[in-house]
Amino acid sequence: MLLYKQKKNQAAKGKRFLINITVRGSAGPIRFVVSEDDLVVTVLDNALKQYAREGRLPVLGSDINSFMLYCPVSETEAISPWMTIGSVGFRNFGMCKKPQTEKDKVIGNGVDGGGDKSPLDKAVTDPRKGGSGNWKAWFNKSLNLKISSH
């Protein structure tokens, strides 16, 4: 009798199924079990946590608002974050960062009219220096140091 009640509670909870989420630039898909009633935003959050837990590269961060989930069949449209994952009808998904809007690009580059860039920003983004050449020079120099033996 007790087993019957547990099965009844599980049925009320919703069906569970395995999904695959392929992250652009990563080696392979992330796999985990979801309920068909889970929202897409919850699935994105779980995917980012699983990705970080596995120590995958490239490092993505944890801001779910900057990512979108899409079906590989129709890559042109992102799935609404407020849909349930079971209503989509697929079990294989893709995940990538949302494209930046023009406003985000302007603010991100320090051209928002708030003054000049800091000297550190200029050193990192100066095209004459090749972007991140400072740390490369330091790294190469530190490798060339010879350790004298006694």
CATH class of 2-97: alpha beta
Whole-number pLDDT of residue 123 = 42
Q: What are the domain boundaries of the chain?
A: 2-97, 102-144
C-alpha neighbours within 13 Å on the C-beta side of residue 59: 1
Q: pLDDT band for position 104 (50/70/90)?
A: low
Per cent of the chain over pLDDT 90 is 37
Q: Work out the average pLDDT over 19-41.
A: 93
Per cent of the chain over pLDDT 70 is 58
**Residue 102 corresponds to which amino acid?**
E
Name the H helices within the chain: 2-13, 40-53, 102-108, 119-125, 133-144
Nearest in space to 87 (alpha carbons), one of 15, 30, 9: 15
Q: Is the pLDDT of residue 125 over 70?
A: no
